[in-house]
Amino acid sequence: MYTTHDSHNYLKQYSIKPSVQRTAVMDYLMNNRTHPTIDEIYLALVPNMPTLSKTTVYNTLDLFVEKGAVRSLILDEKNSRYDIDISAHAHFICRSCGKVHDIFNLEASKFQLPINSKFSIDAVEISYMGFCEECKQN
């Protein structure tokens, strides 16, 4: 389990001033690696922070993404999801339960553009959809 101290240190690595709200959002992301939405984060934090607004959560996540501390994932047309793991990896989205799972150890060379490409790539998002093991059995 990550602590507030861990969150402070992580935020400082990305030159983000660790306010109470920012630390709370980062604590949640570090301890809940479920690729949560803004609503999920807000609903989890508001019982202990009654003055917290959804706008504050949105602005905090926007800052985290801007500074490179968190990835924003657009996996469906409804919501952005947030991923604390900024390493290169893909995602699997279950069509039944909606859970998002990380997929590591992909062979990156299979997804690169040819060397003479006219594009300048700064990000690659790979996601797979189907049914997770639990939903497949039901």
Q: Do the Cβ atoms of 82 and 71 come closer than 8 Å? A: yes
- CATH 3.30.1490.190 domain position(s) in the chain: 90-137
Q: Do the Cβ atoms of 76 and 93 come closer than 8 Å? A: yes
Residue showing tokens 């607004």: 53
The pair of structure tokens assigned to 5 is: 């101290």
pLDDT of residue 121: 73
pLDDT of residue 120: 76
- CATH 1.10.10.10 domain position(s) in the chain: 4-83
Using CB atoms within 10 Å of the CB of residue 79, give its burial: 0 to 12 exposed, 13 to 18 middle, 19+ buried.
Answer: middle
Query: What pLDDT band is residue 83 in, cutting at 50, 70 and 90?
Result: very high
Using CB atoms within 10 Å of the CB of residue 107, give its burial: 0 to 12 exposed, 13 to 18 middle, 19+ buried.
Answer: exposed
Q: Which CATH code fits 90-137?
A: 3.30.1490.190
pLDDT of residue 74: 86
Residue showing tokens 């300048």: 120
The CA-CA-CA angle for residues 122, 120, 77, to 5°, reads 55
**Distances from the Cα of 48 to the Cαs of 42, 51, 61, 119, in angstroms?**
11, 9, 19, 46
Least confident of 19-23, 99-103, 110-114, 117-121: 110-114
Query: What pLDDT band is residue 138 in, cutting at 50, 70 and 90?
Result: confident
What CATH class has 4-83?
Answer: mainly alpha
Please, what is the end-to-end C-alpha distance for the chain in angstroms? 31
Taking only the tens place, the pLDDT of each residue in 11-53 is: 999 999 999 999 999 999 999 999 999 999 999 999 999 999 9
